[in-house]
Amino acid sequence: MPRPANAVDFWRGFALVTIFINHIPGIFYENLTHRNFSISDSADLFVFLAGWSLRHVVSKRRLSAAHLVIRLGGRALTLYAAQILMIVVAIAMLAGAAMALQNPLLLEWHNAAAVFHDPTETHIGLALLTHQLGYFDILPLYVVLMVMAPGIALIHRFARPLLLPLSLAIYLLVLGFQIAVPTWPVQGAWFFNPLAWQLVFVLGFVLAPGREADGALGGWVRRHLFWLRIAAAPIVVAGACVIWFSLWPDPTRVPSPKLFFVQSKSYVTPMRLIQFLALVALGSVLYPYIRRLLPWLTEFLSLLGRNSLEVFCVGSLLSLAGQIVRFVYKGGIVVDTAAVAFGIAALAFTAWLTEWLDRDKGKELTAPRAASPSR
């Protein structure tokens, strides 16, 4: 039986839907997503909840250290396989659209040109995750974070007080020295710098409820959540004002190191991180009310969140399909509405089918074996 609706799955489902919409640039419905009043967006929430979920795995005391490492390593391999499959399909979609529309410019979309013009080195880069297509670069970040996950789990188990300071130290070094993770064969850097984004992942991990002592950060936050929410409100309002009135700091006038004072999604800079944590503090109060007032929405988004990998992969490909459709039909409210409605319905079907297959597989595993015929 699938687990019942809960806040983590609900917000993960919310992130998946908004990522799907926001990955269709120019679509009308991107104006309704929360990035229009927030410095952070659903990518931050997705990574934070990934760390939160990891905490529940690590908190299972019956898992030995070796079992934990094997399990998390297996998850990283699953994510890697999903990324490779998704990229292969995305490249085929761009090639097919270019052929059908007789428009070779589609082969240039989203950093895909190197795949067609320099396939030998680029396919090695795709396999190594050092070459990434635009709008398909979140999962490579997640793969790297899951590769880091065994180390995070072991530090948490054997040297718990060191986990957050170590993560924060890496983050500060990356910002201070602008340390980027390079791409290859096309020269550049990862859009989502895993050395910076690991802090969001670790914060989700340490803030999640577990069996830690009352003095741990997560316990302290839950004991003082009321006051933290009061402090978070003006930060969220200030973030909305920055977005609405374009009150971004002038990069030429801030002191060095500049990344401490400007907004960068790649480095999830302090401005973005603080606003995101404030938004989490305020948003955490909403789930009980949404569940009571809109139970169908709670169940729907939790369904998506329970099957996040499958839904994310299908959603990413549907976003690319939506981009192609808008390119052909020039957008418009009717096209945009049809694209979003079809996409969300497809995400729901993907989640339902995943659970149905898992349930069917479970029945096969638990069904009694038929008696062997005598010879």
What pLDDT is attached to residue 363? 62
Distance CA 372, CA 375 (A): 9
Distance CA 193, CA 138 (A): 10
Distance CA 68, CA 105 (A): 46
Place of tokens 């549907």: 318
Distance CA 258, CA 44 (A): 21
> pLDDT tens string for the chain (375 positions)?
788 999 999 999 999 999 999 999 999 999 999 999 999 999 999 999 999 999 988 887 677 888 889 999 999 999 999 999 999 999 999 999 999 999 999 999 999 999 999 999 999 999 999 999 999 999 999 999 999 999 999 999 899 999 999 999 999 999 999 999 999 999 999 999 999 999 999 999 999 987 655 457 888 999 999 999 999 999 999 999 999 999 999 999 999 999 999 999 999 999 999 999 999 999 999 999 999 999 999 999 999 999 999 999 999 999 999 999 999 999 899 999 999 999 999 999 999 999 999 886 666 555 555 444 444
Position 22 in a domain: yes
> Domain limits at 190?
7-357
Position 371 in a domain: no
In our burial notation (b when 16+ CB lie closer than 10 A, e otherwise), range 97-112 reads bbeeeeeeebbebbbb
What pLDDT is attached to residue 217? 85
- The verdict on whether omega for the bond into residue 185 sits within 30 degrees of 0, i.e. cis, is yes
Distance CA 319, CA 351 (A): 17
Please give the tally of structural domains in the chain.
1
Q: Are 214 and 162 in contact (CB under 8 A)?
A: no
Distance CA 64, CA 176 (A): 37
Position 366 in a domain: no
Nearest to 221 by CA among 211, 233, 209: 209
Secondary structure (3-state) at 2: coil
- What secondary structure letter does DSSP report for 186? T
Distance CA 141, CA 47 (A): 9
Distance CA 261, CA 34 (A): 23
Position 365 in a domain: no
Nearest to 13 by CA among 266, 247, 294, 228: 294
Place of tokens 């790297």: 144
- What secondary structure letter does DSSP report for 349? H
Position 291 in a domain: yes
What pLDDT is attached to residue 359? 82
Q: Are 319 and 29 in contact (CB under 8 A)?
A: no
CA 39 to chain centre: 16
Q: Are 299 and 5 in contact (CB under 8 A)?
A: yes
Position 372 in a domain: no
Position 103 in a domain: yes
Position 222 in a domain: yes
What pLDDT is attached to residue 264? 97
